[in-house]
Structure 1
Amino acid sequence: MNWKILEYDEMLKPFAADIQLRMDNYERKKKELLGDNLSLKDFANAHQYFGFHKTEDGWFYREWAPAAEEVYITGDFNNWHWLDHRLTNIGNGVWEIFIPDNRTLWHGCKVKTIVKHNGQLLERIPLYARRVVQDPVTRAFCCEIVDEAPYQWKKKKFTPAKELFIYECHIGMAQEEEKVGSYIEFRDKILPRIKEAGYNTIQIMAIMEHPYYGSFGYQVSNFYAASSRFGLPGELKSLIDTAHEMGIAVLLDVVHSHAVKNTAEGINEFDGTTYQFFHDGPRGDHPAWGTKLFNYNKNEVIHFLLSNLKFWMDEYHFDGFRFDGVTSMLYHDHGLGVAFDSTDKYFSLNTDTEAVTYLQLATALIKEVNPKAICIAEDMSAMPGMCVAIEDGGIGFDYRLSMGMPDLWIKLLKNTPDEFWNIHKIWYELQIRRPMEKNIGYAESHDQALVGDKTIMFRLCDAAMYTDMSKDVQSMTVDRGIALHKMIRLISMAAGGEGYLNFMGNEFGHPEWIDFPREG
């Protein structure tokens, strides 16, 4: 078949067979999952079956644990007697229990799953936990039952703007006080400032629950739980509802590229095996991040992850996603140390075709659930077709991040005196894009503005930021810094892509980096 992507980019014509393989894999897997009649939207409903579900006369609890010998549920409701409530194996690795009386479990009731594997009892957090909290004394994490009254949405339908001006943010670090910020504080104090500054979209980091706060949310443990550090599920919904009333779309920074390796807090070895969700052996371990890697060929894993996307859209009304770590997904070597300087590097035995198929399924599902939803890919390899429609031979994202732009500015600031900046070269670098694919331009994101790196403003002014920023002080360093800070942002916004992104604080030149509240 003559896919349109081959018309968009003449350099891809020698790889027509690889594009065909991409599409054949997608259609084959889709047929395997859905059969002849089911839609992706109907398929991605694992969260409506697994986990805890209240009925008029009790609670159902279900898990997928194929290698488990026995499964139990324990918690406040049975005084933590581990073996009092045993689940029944109903086939295909699915375990189920019905607990009579819908008052047996209550909102805030703490529970855990006990899995028996190879004769050992393993303490686990339910896979579909909606809320996970940390004990302030023991520091252990535990699932809490969520039985809130349904949130009453004030803005039930919302359409994102066509041209995106994105404010990337972290709820916990978005406060002036030396503490972890909350959903409510962000809603009341930060959203109005974002609106006033002219942004029409926020991209929120660290929403999916993670045990290590310092990971900035990129080592996810509980995929269906909104981080309890910042407040209750209903408070996050209120934040999103308020944003929609202000005309601001809300994107989730979703992490499906890997998962935290913790077993007590996360999904790793839930049923006692290393291969329930992840590849077995070395392929299941990320060599640089120390995290676990999903087996995207396994239908149950696809079911879990696709349902996760639909859950965040249905339950919380997110308007789309920024997919983290896409390059790591696309290649067996995760793109580490690779210069993608020839087209054949995108279509080789190093390409993880199973991950490519999963990403196609993910973007197709998102558009089925909400045709106006936004999909952004964080890919530094420039994989052809990332932002081309699936029916045209692509992977289906709307935008890719222009990840080379921050590097361009950093290299200029570090290595080139102002008078030798070549505007023609800058323009050329800003215009390098895949044909017919939309980009989000940015001068710096959280990668440059968090602990361990330098913001552009600090590279420009350095220590003078602490002494010479007063109007009473005449400083060529500060005057130059402010001027270039504005110009870099102007050209990044004007020429860098079809959308623009800024990380919180960078718009006004936050000094150094944004750090966590801590002593010392």
Structure 2
Amino acid sequence: SNIVKMNKPISWHLAQLEEAEEIFDCFTLSYRSFGIQRRSDNGLVLREWAPGAEAVFLTGDFSKFLGKNSLGNYTSPKVDKSPAIKHLTKLKLVVLTKTGEYLFWISPWAKYVTKTLDSVTYDWTHWDPPQRYQFQHTRPPRPSSLRIYEAHVGISSPEGKIASYKNFTRDVLPHIKDLLMAIMEHAYYASFGYQVTNFFAASSRFGTPDDLKHLVDTAHSMGITVLLDVVHRHASSNTEDGLNYFDGTDSCFFHGGSRGNHSLWGSRLFNYSSWEVARFLLSNLRWWKEEYHFDGFRFDAVTSMLYQHHGIGQFHFWGNYSEYFGMHVDEDALVYLMLANHILHKLYPQCITVAEDVSGMPGLCRPIEEGGLGFDYRLTMAVPDKWIQVLKEVGAEDWDLKNIVHTLTNKRRGEASITYAESHDQALVGDKSLAFWLMDKDMYTNILLATSTSWVSNEFGHPEWLDFPKKGNNESYYYAHRLFNLVDIEHLRYRQLYAFDRDMNLTEDKYGWLAGCQSAVTTLNQADKVIVFERANLLFVFNFHPCNSYIDYRVAVEHAGKYKIKLNSDELQYGGQGRLVQDTEFFTEPMPFNGRAQSFLEIMRLLKNMALKYSKRLNKS
């Protein structure tokens, strides 16, 4: 039975699309026919959709006004040798409105836009290099476990400046995996890339399109899967260098009136019921797959797409089905997401799609054939919020482990999810990172290896929060950087934290617990602050007590045999105190405990975590 009830099934929408456009492959490759295209004889073809305009003209460095047509269609004379418009020529569309006003805009299909330091708006710069970038490396196979690292190109340098694609390729790729955030062109740098102005243009503040292609190509050579954070919920309200009022009306790409404006974000909301908006957005996905070889997408703000209330004021979704379905669901947006997932997975079977959704709508990550929306994964957005809340508001001795475990395990069965300990939402709004909340002033005073403070942190413990230059900080780049260089300094402890993060990922790569079945929590001791759980034939033991360690602590297990330590955060190389012998063997005994038939006594002299690998055969580790 269908999980999602719509007036028309998705097959009907696909049939309508194919009837009008022959096949959806051509429909979603419209970036090859819209905007400016060079013909085989070097002549020019211009095609724009501007239904509310009286006429559209093309102008630029090469000439005065050219062409006039209500749809913006124009074909230049035949050119024998050089292109009709040269590479890097500055261009403008001139839209004549019904009221007789001339508006100077950038084509919605522009592939490259640039601006000078003293300019407020962007210029449309024609991108048509004599030689196209040739990719050298194939995409890596789709991983069974996603270990995602969020990365922003602009803040990837240790210097207080806007870093480049080249810098990222050279200095950062060796350190990180698997995600590239928001690189579509956005005029306002401090929007984090979520107020897009030009959907087909890679941000020029980081370099050229070829620089980005080289970045993705190099990542593939390292076996790194690269996902693009795609923003199809809304667009910047900019006019001259954005989509807003493109044809002189407020309803060209967006809903007209109040429905087309996001009350909190100040951005314009796409009208998914429009055939040409579907063409634009679906072709945008194909563009990033075909032109830049991205391996998949993290769809931003899916909750805001699914509901006409956009999630505003919905502080909690309690699981009542009336919250997920009914009159407040935006069926046009829902159909668009289903179409996007259907087309991406049909044309690129290895493609990965991730939904940033806080609502937990049932079926979001189930196949479209079942009535689901077809996403591969949902982000469990509550988890990073929970960790920040715990660190900010609760002392370590008062942590509510039951509440923490509930948040970590509150997922829909049968739908895959991705859980972050920390995401950019927590670290990029002037707040402190997890590392900073844990370490506070020790981040500066106990940074040398000779100090004795133990740190618990993800990654390498970046010493400061991250923020973009804006009026609130006097346009400073001081916090708009990322000190990856700290992990290479031998006498500092950042390299120890980084080493643990690296080895944790390598251990997961070996045992694959992220793709394993649901965790079975066997110990949740609030007084001792101890959590023990089993997953993917591994046993995880955590002691969160701020000062207590334990001797002869009984641990319940499902399988009889011998257990050995595979990852121990108390090792000296991770900045621990080396209180455990790494090759210690733990033998089970048939003593029932906490609902398990087997158990063993385990010495926990650490304040962090361990992962133990079991073996049913006692003579094999």
TM-score (norm 2): 0.72
Structure showing greater Rg: 2
Residue 146 of structure 1 corresponds to 127
* Cα distance between partner residues in 1 of 2:267 and 2:21: 37
For the aligned residue pairs, the C-alpha RMSD in angstroms reads: 1.8
Residue 516 of structure 1 deviates from its aligned partner by 3.5
Residue 13 of structure 1 corresponds to none
Residue 37 of structure 1 deviates from its aligned partner by 8.7
* Cα distance between partner residues in 2 of 1:450 and 1:211: 18
- 1:236 and 2:212 aligned: yes
Amino acid aligned to 1:183: Y
- 1:191 and 2:173 aligned: yes
Residue 340 of structure 1 corresponds to 317
Contact 2:139 2:295 in 1 (8 A): no
Query: Residues 451, 21 of structure 1: CA spacing in aligned structure 2 closer, same or farther, 3 A cutoff?
Result: closer
Q: Deviations over 1:371-422 (max 9, x none)?
A: 1000000001111111001001100000010101012212222333323334
* Cα distance between partner residues in 1 of 2:451 and 2:193: 40
Contact 2:354 2:378 in 1 (8 A): yes
Q: Give the counterpart of 1:399 among 353, 368, 377.
A: 377
* Cα distance between partner residues in 2 of 1:146 and 1:319: 23
* Cα distance between partner residues in 2 of 1:221 and 1:28: 32
SS at match of 1:400: strand
Residue 511 of structure 1 corresponds to 463
Residue 16 of structure 1 corresponds to none
Amino acid aligned to 2:69: T
1:7-22 aligned within 5 A = 19-21=4-6
- 1:106 and 2:86 aligned: yes
Higher relative contact order (CA 8 A, sep 6+): 1
Residue 453 of structure 1 deviates from its aligned partner by 1.7
Q: Give the counterpart of 2:247 among 271, 290, 302.
A: 271
Q: Give the counterpart of 2:38 among 54, 57, 66.
A: 54
1:62-211 aligned within 5 A = 62-78=47-63, 81=64, 84-89=65-70, 93-101=71-79, 102-117=82-97, 118-148=99-129, 149-194=131-176, 199=177, 201=178, 203-211=179-187
* Cα distance between partner residues in 1 of 2:379 and 2:56: 43
Query: Residues 119, 515 of structure 1: CA spacing in aligned structure 2 closer, same or farther, 3 A cutoff?
Result: same
Residue 36 of structure 1 deviates from its aligned partner by 8.6
Amino acid aligned to 1:112: K
TM-score (norm 1): 0.86
Q: Give the counterpart of 2:297 among 321, 325, 331.
A: 321
Residue 31 of structure 1 deviates from its aligned partner by 2.4
* Cα distance between partner residues in 1 of 2:29 and 2:215: 25
* Cα distance between partner residues in 2 of 1:239 and 1:213: 21
Contact 1:40 1:368 in 2 (8 A): no
SS at match of 1:303: helix
* Cα distance between partner residues in 1 of 2:477 and 2:228: 30
Q: Deviations over 1:57-88 (max 9, x none)?
A: 4111111111211211111112xx3xx31233
Residue 474 of structure 1 deviates from its aligned partner by 4.5
SS at match of 1:442: coil
Contact 1:63 1:96 in 2 (8 A): no
Residue 445 of structure 2 corresponds to 467
Q: Deviations over 1:267-314 (max 9, x none)?
A: 111110100110011000001000000000111110110010011100
Contact 1:159 1:372 in 2 (8 A): yes
Residue 388 of structure 2 corresponds to 410
SS at match of 2:264: coil
Residue 245 of structure 1 corresponds to 221
Residue 492 of structure 1 corresponds to none
- 1:441 and 2:419 aligned: yes
Contact 2:36 2:47 in 1 (8 A): yes
Residue 41 of structure 1 corresponds to 25
Query: What is the count of residue pairs matched by the alignment?
Result: 465
Query: Residues 162, 50 of structure 1: CA spacing in aligned structure 2 closer, same or farther, 3 A cutoff?
Result: same
Residue 223 of structure 1 deviates from its aligned partner by 0.5
Residue 95 of structure 1 deviates from its aligned partner by 2.4
* Cα distance between partner residues in 2 of 1:519 and 1:130: 28
* Cα distance between partner residues in 2 of 1:509 and 1:474: 16
SS at match of 2:234: coil
Residue 26 of structure 1 corresponds to 10
Contact 2:429 2:467 in 1 (8 A): yes
Contact 2:76 2:84 in 1 (8 A): no
* Cα distance between partner residues in 1 of 2:223 and 2:43: 40
**Higher helix content, 1 or 2:** 1
* Cα distance between partner residues in 1 of 2:448 and 2:373: 50
Amino acid aligned to 1:444: E
Contact 2:45 2:73 in 1 (8 A): no
Residue 496 of structure 1 corresponds to none
- For structure 1, the residue ranges without an aligned partner over 5 or more in a row are 6-18, 490-506
SS at match of 2:151: strand
Residue 426 of structure 1 deviates from its aligned partner by 2.5
SS at match of 2:193: coil
* Cα distance between partner residues in 1 of 2:91 and 2:84: 12
Contact 2:42 2:84 in 1 (8 A): no
Query: Residues 113, 29 of structure 1: CA spacing in aligned structure 2 closer, same or farther, 3 A cutoff?
Result: same
Identity of aligned residues (%): 45
- 1:430 and 2:408 aligned: yes
1:283-294 aligned within 5 A = 283-294=259-270
